[in-house]
A and B are shown apart, each in its own frame.
With several copies, the nearest count.
Chain A
Amino acid sequence: MMKQGKGRAALSSQPETKKFRLLAFGIARDIVGGNEVDIELTDAYSVGALKTALQENYPDFKRLKSLAIAVNETYRTDEHILNTNDEIVIIPPVSGG
């Protein structure tokens, strides 16, 4: 682990909560009830943790054929770590064409 700055060192053993703003399209917009939704994650800020939080807060996401997350216009796997200033988008099953 990297050595933390003095302000953060005092909090290093406490879980930290971060808020992420997500864009929602298609059926995801219907599920969250709007074009945007804020999701708070504690300690783990990965795409996987975000998907779990979405499915816990909105169980309808569990019924979809798939659920993907795009970060700054690129699909990302569950291991990818999010930053609060990323453009994060919920991608339900696509159906263009």
Chain B
Amino acid sequence: MIDIQLLTTSLDTQECIRLVEHPSSGGTAVFIGTVRDTTKGKPVIRLEFEAYKPMAIAEMQKIAETIVDRWSALKVVIHHRTGSLNIGEIAVIIAVATPHRKAAFAACEYAIDTLKETVPIWKKEIFEDGDVWVAAHP
């Protein structure tokens, strides 16, 4: 019902969508977070992600359990990648299958919003002239 993965290899959208298939599902919402080529107009070379792994998995599991409880989700998948990612590569995939579509959207957006607030994963943007830990400073 819940599948949480923290991977160092490429994430597979098709696999995530397959994992949330369910005969009682009427709507599946999927979020795919990819590496953007610019930040505030400045060209980005790549991103580097690191995680405090056991707690990152535990916090993603909590998010998925909340979704099952609150939105009666049938299936929840959260796959997050760590390591060095190039432009266009996928950093995170969240897929939620529910009987009705409104719940799928609400739950999927809750998942990515909460992941960005609570899951101990950090990304560094690598620019031509240096690097910055994202969101570290006010």
Contact = CB atoms under 8 A, between A and B. Distances in A.
A adjacent to B, CB under 8 Å: yes
A97 interface: yes
B-side interface mostly: mixed
B137 A26 contact: no
B115 A96 contact: yes
A42 interface: no
Interface residues of A, number: 20
Interface in A12-62: 23, 25-27, 30
A65 B51 contact: no
B115 A27 contact: no
Contact of B135 (A30, A63, A73, A95): A95
B1 interface: no
A73 B58 contact: yes
Interface in B96-138: 112, 115-124, 133-138
A94 B118 contact: yes
B121 A95 contact: yes
A95 B51 CA distance: 10
B91 A94 contact: no
A94 B121 contact: yes
Contacts of A26: 50, 122, 124, 133, 136
B87 interface: no
A21 to B, nearest CB: 15
Most buried by B among A70, A75, A92, A96: A96
A93 B121 CA distance: 9
Most buried by A among B55, B121, B138: B55
Contacts of A74: 55
A96 B122 contact: yes
Most buried by B among A92, A94, A95, A97: A97
B135 to A, nearest CB: 4
A92 B115 CA distance: 15
A14 B122 CA distance: 41
Task: Give the 10 A-B CB pairs with smallest separation, nearest first.
Answer: A96-B121, A26-B122, A95-B134, A27-B133, A73-B55, A95-B135, A27-B136, A97-B116, A65-B138, A93-B135
